Amino acid sequence: MKFTAAEIARIIDGRIEGDPHTSVSSFGKIEEAGEGQLTFLANPRYEEFLYTTKASVILLNSSFEPKQPVKATLIRVPDAYSAFAVLLTRYQEIMQQKLTGIQQPSHIEESASLGEHVFVGAFSYIGKQAVLGNHVKIYPQVYIGDHVSVGDNTVIYPGVKIYHDCKIGRSVIIHAGAVIGSDGFGFAPQQDGSFKKIPQIGNVIIEDNVEIGANTTIDRATMGSTIIRSGVRLDNLIQIAHNVEIGNDTVIAAQAGISGSTKVGKQVMIGGQAGIVGHIQLGDGAKVNAQSGVTKSVKPGQAVTGTPAFEYNAALRSQALIRKLPELEKRIKQLEWLIQQLNENSSA
């Protein structure tokens, strides 16, 4: 599929410098791109490749001024990186629109409802009274449980498992191997030291425009719902426990874990491998540094780091002091020796 520079400029509202009829059919990194490919330059560290790349079309920031002539056709935009992301998204949408129909073998219960232009990949299972909206893409080996609803334009990649009664919004992306709606970790201790399982009868609600990374797990609520609000971005290998609520436009990096009933506010940023205990709150705009252990609630806008996590700047000062401890210990021993000598001299 080919696009001219003029067509691309219309999509991203760019300004062309060069031949508007130059066509491209794929994308490439600026240091590797060849003829017929589109690339971009947003980071000045890669400027040297601007003058040697064989790419046919290059996106540039409007404010950037090349130091040498550039052979390729240029498209100027306010933010080349964002514009490139828009083009990648549009390209992916076009490619996915070609996927329609039901591959065999697959199993779809008679009571399930499928919208228009739905794709169901081979070896998938669609349960009783499940509802798939328009333009939903279900890749092979996906399990959709009974009474699950999936909104328009949602894409579910291979091997995803969505348990019964869960609700998935519109334009959601769920990557391979994710599990939505598995039982929360609920067990009641018994007098004999054993643990009795507490039934998890709630569900998971994922609102619109959410992206969930590969092999991430989101547990169903004990009662009520585990809720992922609109615009949330979850990386791979994240664990979200029962009855957790994640606020709008929050981002969480890989291998983070959030324990049960914790409430995470809007536009929170959580770094990789962070661990967050249950039944606390992270206020809107809070930031949790990677590998932090959060044991108490975090105020709106506050940044924390460390284990146990506390205020970021104070933690940095503590770390600086810790590095000085060996030298401080040495100085204390010297002072103790001097005091001892003074005491001995005064006694004499």
Active site residues: 242
Compute CA distances 321 → 60, 118, 293, 309, whole Å. 45, 60, 20, 17
Tell me the C-alpha to C-alpha distance, in Å, between residue 45 and each of 17, 29, 37, 56, 193: 22, 13, 21, 21, 61
Dist. CA 203–CA 226, nearest whole Å: 6
Instruction: Say if residues 112 and 95 touch (Cβ distance below 8 Å).
Output: no
DSSP 181-225: EEPP--EEE-TTS-EEEPP---EEEE-TT-EE-TT-EEEPPSSSE
How many CB atoms sit inside 10 A of residue 162's CB?
28
Residues 148 and 334: their CA atoms lie apart, in Å, by 71
The encoded tokens of residue 239 equal 């664990």
Asked whether the beta carbons of 286 and 252 are under 8 A apart, the reply is no
Q: At how many degrees (to 10) do helices 80-97 and 5-12 cross? A: 110
3-state secondary structure of 297: coil
